[in-house]
Structure 1
Amino acid sequence: MHIGISSPVTIQEFVPFLNKESQVKANGIIGLKAPAVDSLIHSFLIQGHKVSVYTLTFEVKNRVILRGDLLTIYINPLRVNGKLRALTFFNKEINFIFESVKLEPHLPDILHAHWTYEYAQGVVKFRNRIPVIITVRDWAPKILKLNLNYYRFARYLMDFRIFKTSNLTFLANSPYIKQLVKKKWKKEVEVIPNSISNKFIKTNFTNIEKKRYIISVSNNISPAKNIEKLLIAFQKINKKFEDVELNLVGKQFYMNVPKVKKWETMGLLNKVNLIGEVDHKKLMEEYDRAIVLVHPSLEESFGNILIEALARGLPVIAGKFSGAVPYILENGKIGELCDVSSISVMENSMADMLNNKALMVDLSEKGIKHVWSKYSQEVVSNQTLAIYNKLIKE
């Protein structure tokens, strides 16, 4: 099968699948990270499918095409100025994706776009020639509500346009998103969850006796991520468990960021380590150093961070009202659910977990088994391929 994927990807994950000339061309191009899509593509290639990837990155000024026996990657420019992208509704980026597909000697058997924005709009014009699938990976109306700015408003309108387009097949990455799609758009969609690379899933549970770090991972520090309340709760925990520290991982956890500096002046960074941005391999190492993950986010359409932590055998505390979080944690069977909007509740959940080593070991074992059975590359890719085959036959 020839599969076309329109999505952010991590270019360096696919260097082994490229010819020598393209490996040289790929040097220094990282791409935009999308681990769930990366692992899906990797699984397709391992199974012998031909894959074409249409992607965008800030790192190139002109289109770069990388080739291998089974893989072709069309890397297109992404404008650095987010406001300008939004003002023009990503018109250049959409056209880059569209033109990349047109460069194919033969169209793929199926096109699969991830997210409902530029990557989707770049491929929808082919929907009357081949099946086009759009995976809904976030919920634009809720994101706009939590982040009232023009950029998110433009994204909301792009999302609206995709859902109003006929002859598309939609997938959701969680039952939470599935319910939202059904309620707003009256569309029945199947759920295909995000996957995680098998190389990151442990085979046995974590030895918690040697750990003394709580970890929290976030791609941004917007109000929806709720980091400040976590910091307040941790300072209270710090008085009860003096040997415990908090590691914050993410691209905005640096002292020169104004909000982080404000937290310091508020006295919220005592025994808090600002790890900052790390690559995916290093992130797994950070999980392995920790004793528990606390994820205070108020909204998650899926929760890759939760899956990654569970895969490393790390007990998880996360929001019981935070979108797809209860789905990921099996309604509390494989992780602790609490009201993360409450500082005192979050504090009590951390204290209860730190005081109960038997519970931590139990959750660690259950988490690893659950990830292998539900989110491994083979499981998710086979579910996806079944949908591809069904649509192609139709």
Structure 2
Amino acid sequence: MKLHIGIAAPIATEHVANLLSCDTSELPKGYPGAPFTGVLIGELLKQGHRVSAFTTDSSLYPNKGIVKVSGANFDFYICPSRPRAWRLNNHRLGRAVDGFAYERQQLYDAMQLAKPLIIHAHWTYEFALPAIKTGLPHLITCHDAPAVILRYTRSVYRAIRYLLARQVFRKARNLSAVSSYMASAVQHYTSIPISLVPNPLADYVLSQGKPRNAPKHKRIGMICNGWDERKNPEPALRAFAKLNREHPAAQLHLFGMDFGPNQTAQQWCEKNGLAGGMVFHGSTPHQQLIDKFSKLELLLHPSLEESFGVVIAEAMALGLPVVAGRRSGAVPWVVGFDETANKICCAVLTDMTDSDAIVLAIKQAFDEQYGERSEMGYTRARQMFAPDVIAGKYLSLYENILFSNAN
């Protein structure tokens, strides 16, 4: 059964450029930050389905309207979004003030033009509400727990997004989540059973992976997008500084917003005398990030909470063992850790608030079982997160939803 599927999500134009039949150099950039959306769209097209995708871009506001571009069986709708959350945008309020009303209307209008059989919206906010409003069969995927995000980032903006999510949970008829942790974290908002479908990994991630033997070097990678309590970088940086004093040749390669040259992380490390052995790369295009990571030996992931942890799944796919948090949301599920089984997995999990515990975990990750951890992660990533596996799970959900709506 070939379907016409709508995908409403943060979608960067660069992540679907290869699916379009036009020059994309002058197109709006779309909504960056979720490379997996392009992976899912590409896999659905590869399996013979038609896809209409919907995203937003503030460069189109206020005068350019919805941009539609196409490829084989693929239509991409880029909708205007106000650039400011609070201050006036020409004659309109900030997007947070009215709960993204303008953005939701633009997305709704594009969905009405496309008329897919089913709409799959990602995140429980401004993409989900217009999908539900169309009255078409829908699936909403939960990528974060709104109350947890609000707890770590206490702001009026996050409170408004929390209220948007509560509307989504009240109105949605079909929900999925990207991990067992996430399903449990949001199940109390709704009586609807929440299906479990993880995020897919890009083919270019999987193609660069290989099981590894114990390395001669200790080149560690860490990705944090933002310097905040939830990302929890400070204990990990202190831990590496302790490791570097024992192993002066060890390196820590840092990626993400606030982790570039002379940015927040480097300034903090230099102020505290901890910058030895650290290389500050900062924000890096995704394929370049994967290329750089494939040349490292370990992922250090200090986050205190993850709804999925695509960085961890990508490291596993590349064959890198992982050091991460034993209580960090979805992390134990992603790496296949079973606390009751007392057996090795692809990660060493520890208390990510304790720099001494992190040092011990890094040393353990480099022990004689390094190769076994590498192979286990490499295998699990392909079994659990390959694009064809994830698309197959979603297609089963779509067909069940369409069947239920027809009866």
Identify the TM-score tier after normalising by the shorter chain. Answer: over 0.9
Q: Tell me by how many angstroms 1:300 deviates.
A: 0.4
Out of 99, 103, 120, the position equivalent to 2:113 is: 103
Gaps of 5+ in 1: none
Residues 360 and 50 (structure 1), Cα distance of their counterparts in 2 relative to 1, 3 Å cut:
same
Aligned to 1:35: 35
Where does structure 1 differ by over 6 angstroms across 4 or more consecutive aligned residues? none
Worse-matched range after superposition: 205-214 or 243-252: 205-214
Aligned to 1:49: 49
Q: Tell me by how many angstroms 1:313 deviates.
A: 0.7
SS in 2 for 1:331: coil
Report if aligned partners of 1:31, 1:59 keep a CA contact under 8 Å in 2.
no
Report if aligned partners of 1:117, 1:158 keep a CA contact under 8 Å in 2.
yes
Gaps of 5+ in 2: 87-93, 339-344
Q: Tell me by how many angstroms 1:236 deviates.
A: 0.8
Aligned to 2:60: 60
Matched, 1:197 2:207: no
Aligned to 1:2: 4
Report if aligned partners of 1:39, 1:195 keep a CA contact under 8 Å in 2.
yes
Residues 225 and 3 (structure 1), Cα distance of their counterparts in 2 relative to 1, 3 Å cut:
same
Which whole-Å CA distance do the structure 2 matches of 1:280 and 1:254 have between them? 15
Aligned to 2:83: 80
SS in 2 for 1:273: strand
Q: Tell me by how many angstroms 1:132 deviates.
A: 1.0
Instruction: State how 1:33-182 maps to structure 2 within 5 Å.
Output: 33-61=33-61, 62=64, 63-83=66-86, 84-104=94-114, 107-127=115-135, 130-165=136-171, 168-182=173-187
Report if aligned partners of 1:294, 1:316 keep a CA contact under 8 Å in 2.
yes
Instruction: State how 1:1-394 maps to structure 2 within 5 Å.
Output: 1-20=3-22, 23=24, 25-26=26-27, 29=29, 31-61=31-61, 62=64, 63-83=66-86, 84-104=94-114, 107-127=115-135, 130-165=136-171, 168-201=173-206, 202=208, 204-206=210-212, 209=215, 211-258=217-264, 260-331=266-337, 333-354=345-366, 356=367, 358-394=368-404
What per-residue deviation string (whole Å, max 9, x for no partner) do you get for residues 4-38 of structure 1?
A: 01001131232232223x54653x73641312222
The residue type equivalent to 1:373 in the other structure is Q
Which whole-Å CA distance do the structure 1 matches of 2:217 and 2:46 have between them? 36
SS in 2 for 1:221: coil
Worse-matched range after superposition: 359-368 or 307-316: 359-368
Percent of aligned positions that are identical: 29
Residues 256 and 57 (structure 1), Cα distance of their counterparts in 2 relative to 1, 3 Å cut:
farther
Which whole-Å CA distance do the structure 2 matches of 1:369 and 1:160 have between them? 37
Which whole-Å CA distance do the structure 1 matches of 2:369 and 2:29 have between them? 43
Which whole-Å CA distance do the structure 1 matches of 2:217 and 2:78 have between them? 41
Which whole-Å CA distance do the structure 2 matches of 1:25 and 1:209 have between them? 44
The residue type equivalent to 1:271 in the other structure is G
SS in 1 for 2:375: helix
SS in 2 for 1:141: helix
RMSD: 1.8
Which whole-Å CA distance do the structure 2 matches of 1:203 and 1:137 have between them? 25
Which whole-Å CA distance do the structure 2 matches of 1:308 and 1:6 have between them? 24
Residues 244 and 173 (structure 1), Cα distance of their counterparts in 2 relative to 1, 3 Å cut:
same
Which whole-Å CA distance do the structure 2 matches of 1:77 and 1:268 have between them? 44
Q: Tell me by how many angstroms 1:232 deviates.
A: 0.8
The residue type equivalent to 1:73 in the other structure is F
Which whole-Å CA distance do the structure 2 matches of 1:101 and 1:365 have between them? 43
Q: Tell me by how many angstroms 1:50 deviates.
A: 0.5
What per-residue deviation string (whole Å, max 9, x for no partner) do you get for residues 268-326 of structure 1?
A: 22221110111111111121121110100000011000011111111101111000000
The residue type equivalent to 2:78 in the other structure is I
The residue type equivalent to 1:194 in the other structure is N
The residue type equivalent to 1:331 in the other structure is F
Residues 93 and 30 (structure 1), Cα distance of their counterparts in 2 relative to 1, 3 Å cut:
closer
What per-residue deviation string (whole Å, max 9, x for no partner) do you get for residues 163-188 of structure 1?
A: 1115x201011111111222343432
What per-residue deviation string (whole Å, max 9, x for no partner) do you get for residues 193-218 of structure 1?
A: 11112231145313553543111012
Higher helix proportion (structure 1 or 2)? 1
Worse-matched range after superposition: 184-193 or 229-238: 184-193
Q: Tell me by how many angstroms 1:134 deviates.
A: 0.4
SS in 1 for 2:260: coil
Report if aligned partners of 1:4, 1:111 keep a CA contact under 8 Å in 2.
yes
The residue type equivalent to 1:302 in the other structure is F
Which whole-Å CA distance do the structure 2 matches of 1:365 and 1:243 have between them? 25
The residue type equivalent to 1:117 in the other structure is Y
Report if aligned partners of 2:8, 2:128 keep a CA contact under 8 Å in 1.
yes
Kindly tell me the number of residue pairs found equivalent between the two proteins: 385
* TM-score, L = length of structure 2: 0.90
